[in-house]
């Protein structure tokens, strides 16, 4: 019998193009991935990987097993859903995770509603960035995660998962209250802020990537010396006059003293907040109930957000 976790790892090796990339995506060491692949090859009885230069690639047999893996994982999730329908109904553990701003504004209210409406569900919660939570979802350690993407940054296909839309957030410019454009009637654009210091996410983060792309579209290279993935830190830096920032509505969880938000006139960029589940798991009663509550909370947030001028 083939080990399903090893089949998951093989799928990542095929999708990522090598052992090192798969190991990084799964938060494993390359040696651990190599060992698991060696064991799987012994179980299967034929080579699944072959050497190419200093790396490896999946053999024809490996590609076939990856295709079977996709079907097997989907069928397993569907079987689990059918059995839960027959047995206890909406009950049992539910492991959830979200990036920090969504955890506070979206996941916590959804879990509160879930507990009130389905007291037999036992949710757990953690806050992690998507690059950390998606591998755990694929390995079965999480059931529902909240992630995000930008319309300026196309999503890379990711095998074995489904992304389900929750809400769309137009990004706004955060300025200190003393900034010349904070209370001005003049139109504001990224271009007129080209000489400003920008406060953005860490190097390699989607927010960093989208800021670089937007600067290029507006004809300038952003000055970036201040980095944080924590919006409380970003808004504190803006309030102190250290720079300006692009901020989504979920980060505007309260009135932040000393910060004014303006909608840019020259460019629109949206952050898309999504729920991510394993393919085929959406029929599981607890997961389906959680998705319903997440959608309901997201609709309330979108309805109640007042756009800045």
pTM beyond 0.85: no
Determine the longest span between alpha carbons in the chain, in angstroms.
72
pLDDT of residue 266: 80
Q: Are residues 74 and 20 in the same domain?
A: yes
In terms of pLDDT, which residue wins out, 135 or 253?
A: 135
Backbone φ and ψ of 118, nearest 5°? -140, 75
Domain finish residue from 20, 49, 82: 82
Q: Are residues 208 and 138 in the same domain?
A: no
Domain count across the chain: 3
Q: Are residues 201 and 219 in the same domain?
A: yes
Q: Are residues 165 and 176 in the same domain?
A: no
Q: Are residues 101 and 23 in the same domain?
A: no
**Does residue 309 lie in a domain region?**
no
pLDDT interval class at 154 (50, 70, 90): confident
Q: Are residues 162 and 279 in the same domain?
A: yes
In terms of pLDDT, which residue wins out, 8 or 87?
A: 8
Compute the chain's Rg from CA coordinates: 22
Tell me: pLDDT of 40 over 60.
Answer: yes
Q: Are residues 13 and 56 in the same domain?
A: yes
Q: Are residues 226 and 283 in the same domain?
A: no
pLDDT of residue 307: 63
Q: Are residues 177 and 263 in the same domain?
A: yes
Q: Are residues 244 and 190 in the same domain?
A: yes
Contact between 251 and 235 under an 8 Å Cβ cutoff? The reply is yes
Q: Are residues 204 and 282 in the same domain?
A: no
pLDDT of residue 306: 65
Which DSSP string do the residues of 200-239 spell out, in sequence order? Answer: E--TTSHHHHHHHHHHHHTTS--EEEEE-S-HHHHHHHHH
Q: Are residues 251 and 285 in the same domain?
A: no
For residue 190, what is the domain's CATH number? 3.40.190.10
**Does residue 108 lie in a domain region?**
yes
CA 13 to chain centre: 21
Domain finish residue from 82, 105, 132: 82
pLDDT of residue 118: 92
pLDDT of residue 190: 92
Tell me: pLDDT of 90 over 90.
Answer: no
Q: Give the range of the structural domain holding residue 182, as residue numbers without chain letter.
A: 172-268
């Amino acid at each position: 019998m083939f080990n399903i976790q090893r089949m998951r790892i093989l799928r990542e090796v095929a999708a990522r193009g090598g052992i090192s990339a798969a190991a990084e995506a799964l938060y494993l060491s390359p040696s651990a991935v190599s060992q698991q692949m060696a064991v799987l090859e012994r179980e299967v009885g034929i080579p699944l990987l072959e050497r190419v230069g200093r790396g490896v690639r999946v053999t024809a047999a490996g590609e076939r097993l990856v295709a079977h893996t996709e079907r097997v994982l989907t069928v397993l999730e569907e079987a689990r859903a059918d059995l839960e329908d027959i047995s206890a109904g909406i009950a049992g553990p539910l492991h959830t995770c979200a990036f920090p701003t969504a955890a506070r504004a979206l996941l916590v209210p959804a879990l509160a509603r879930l507990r009130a409406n389905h007291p037999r569900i036992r949710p757990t919660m953690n806050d992690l960035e998507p690059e950390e939570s998606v591998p755990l979802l694929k390995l079965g350690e999480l059931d529902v995660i909240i992630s995000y993407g930008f319309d300026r940054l196309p999503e890379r296909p990711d095998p074995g998962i489904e992304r389900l839309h929750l809400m769309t957030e137009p990004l706004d410019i955060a300025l200190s209250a003393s900034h010349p454009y904070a209370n001005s009637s003049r139109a504001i654009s990224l271009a007129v802020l080209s000489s400003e210091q920008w406060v953005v996410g860490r190097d390699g983060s989607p927010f960093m990537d989208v800021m670089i792309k937007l600067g290029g579209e507006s004809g300038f290279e952003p000055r970036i010396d201040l980095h944080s993935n924590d919006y409380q830190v970003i808004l504190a830096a803006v309030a102190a006059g250290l720079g300006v920032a692009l901020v989504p509505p979920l980060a505007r969880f309260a009135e932040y003293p000393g910060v004014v938000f303006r909608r840019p006139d020259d460019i629109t960029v949206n952050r898309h907040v999504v729920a991510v589940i394993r393919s085929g798991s959406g029929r599981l009663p607890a997961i389906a109930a959680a998705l319903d509550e997440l959608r309901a909370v997201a609709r309330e947030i979108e309805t109640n957000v007042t756009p800045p001028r």
